[in-house]
Amino acid sequence: MTSTAVPAPADTTSDTPREVVVGTGPVTPEQLVAVARHGVGVRLDEGALAALAHGRDVVERLASQDRPVYGVSTGFGALATRHIPVADRARLQRSLVRSHAAGSGPEVETEVVRGLMLLRLSTLATGRTGVRPETAGLLADLLTHRITPVVREYGSLGCSGDLAPLSHVALALLGEGEVRDAAGTLLPAADALAAAGLAPVELGAKEGLALINGTDGMLGMLLMAAADLRLLLDTADVAAAMSIEGLLGSDRVFGEAIAALRPHPGQLTSSAHLRALLADSGIVASHRGPDCTRVQDAYSLRCTPQVHGAARDTLAHAEAVAGRELASTVDNPVLVGDDVESNGSFHGAPVGYVLDFLAIAVADVASISERRTDRFLDAARNHGLPPFLAHDPGVDSGLMIAQYTAAGIVSELKRLAVPASVDSIPSSAMQEDHVSMGWAAARKLRRAVDGLTRVLAVEVLTAARGVELRSPLVPAPASAAVVSLLHAHGVAGPGPDRFTSPDIETVVGLVGSGAVVAAARAALPDGALA
């Protein structure tokens, strides 16, 4: 469901910074998105340059001593017992990067590569990895010039960090390997550097290892998925409200007093959203009276805030983990005071777990969305609407196969919810005998987020038609605004069958861009869908 690699977009919004300044503190999720998705440039501040210089002094001092120091005067992984003479140490770092750039498969998306580059730069800028200021500066220059190394899909076990993906990035700093320039053209790294007026670096002691030993790929994908899910969970509330309205559901179960009886934060938020989105609905008001014989709605309507709310709480937990990871220095060995110490901070378990946890939440939100869509299409359950919302049922099939599309995606999302982080395959001659598979967890979450976007789009499309078929009853202002948005983008209302796929793709775009949520929010009082 995810697309192949393309150049990072240069478009920005009024909220996008013109430049991200990297210091010794962590970058923010907003800065990560700006650099990764909007092509924003980067520079190191004076504090970072000073920290880099100090850290480099420590490494140079250690490199001049006789005692073995991992990553400085020894081999790597299971080869750590081999002492490397001074004359071979530059070759040691160069060989490390070349050998570890062993990825395979399709190109990873540009935004993922830019994200991991920024996060690695942020760790380097702490001064605790021992790289030279000029090495970190070249990484910043690649981001600013929008030179993106080609990173392959497979190669990371999530421990020691994302070795292969980061090695492909480090290779470009040497002027080797392939990159894409700002226009998306594939060319040798040396040519791209020369065209931008940049010179490749000659790696010194420890620099190769410091460039590749981090959780930056999986963390970057977590941060971007979290940003997407914030929007999609709001969209899910909008879609659900339209479905509840169109299916003649009750809004009483979302009341403030009921929600307070089980005060999970996410459930309280989704309940409040549903109350606001259904306010002033003529459709809901039409069946509030004593003549209504339905005591309870189906779970897919009634339990919406419980499912959407649990997903919100899961996301909040994942964001807390991501925040701690952003504030971490992930490298091995790492500078502590005036020495370097081996450690296991590169292990991706903390990030891998929440990536998998989010995939579970995504699958469940999509699952309940598809169930609401399906209710619209079944004349036995949609309370008076035509079968499949068709114009002339039998001649027309309506949205029958749109539900198939959603169902097929939901089935895949359930498979993607199987955790990657419970797996481990020993590597490096059993030195690295337990790995996180966090990169794999991140890759499948990206695919899951794309799938949820599409499932919600099918629900919005279906619910919009269902609401319109309740005419002359007047829908809630938020629902009416979303229906108008769809019409404005060429998605017609009820009528004879038409080519359905373009309508779905149009609504996918409106969901992914935030236009659906923006339309609903504009129809509500300020703060009602905050």
Side-chain-side CA neighbours of residue 97 (13 Å)? 29
How confident is the model over 285-309, as a mean pLDDT? 87
Rg (CA), the chain: 26
What is the spatial distance between Cα 61 and Cα 55, in angstroms, rounded to a whole number? 10
Asked if 27 and 323 touch (Cβ cutoff 8 Å), the reply is: no
Q: What is the pLDDT of residue 78?
A: 64
Average pLDDT, the chain: 93
Cis peptide before 85 (omega within 30 of 0): no
What is the spatial distance between Cα 124 and Cα 345, in angstroms, rounded to a whole number? 15
CA distances to 35, 335, 446, 519 from 12, rounded to whole Å, are 10, 37, 22, 20
| Backbone phi, psi, residue 20, to 5° | -110, 125
Yes or no: is domain 222-337+354-467 CATH 3.40.190.10? no
Tokens of 16: 């996008």
How confident is the model over 296-320, as a mean pLDDT? 97
Q: Which of 356, 346, 353 is nearest to 163 (CA)?
A: 346
Q: Which of 205, 211, 210, 176 is nearest to 190 (CA)?
A: 176
CATH T-level fold of 19-213: Fumarase C; Chain B, domain 1 (1.10.275)
pLDDT: which is higher, 448 or 84: 448
173, pLDDT greater than 80: yes
Residue-wise pLDDT for 350-390, tens only, equals 999 999 999 999 999 999 999 999 999 999 999 999 999 99
Q: What is the pLDDT of residue 6?
A: 33
The kind and range of the H/E element at 504 are helix 500-513
Q: What is the pLDDT of residue 332?
A: 86
Q: Where are the domains of the chain?
A: 19-213, 222-337+354-467
What is the spatial distance between Cα 49 and Cα 81, in angstroms, rounded to a whole number? 33
Q: Quick one: what percent of the chain has pLDDT higher than 70?
A: 96
Q: Pick the catalytic residue: 70, 154, 299, 353?
A: 70
Q: Is 294 left (phi over 0), alpha (psi -120 to 50) or beta?
A: beta
What is the spatial distance between Cα 453 and Cα 441, in angstroms, rounded to a whole number? 19
Tokens of 445: 């979450």
Q: What is the pLDDT of residue 432?
A: 82
pTM score of the predicted model: 0.93
431, pLDDT greater than 90: no
Question: 212-226, 242-256, 280-294, 369-383: lowest mean pLDDT where?
Answer: 280-294
Q: Which of 5, 56, 482, 133 is nearest to 281 (CA)?
A: 482
Do the bridges between strand 339-341 and strand 334-336 make them parallel or antiparallel, or are there none, so unpaired?
antiparallel
What is the spatial distance between Cα 251 and Cα 271, in angstroms, rounded to a whole number? 10
For the chain, the distance separating the N- and C-terminal CA atoms, rounded to the nearest angstrom, is 29
Tell me, yes or no, if 70 is annotated catalytic: yes
How confident is the model over 296-321, as a mean pLDDT? 97
Asked if 108 and 153 touch (Cβ cutoff 8 Å), the reply is: yes
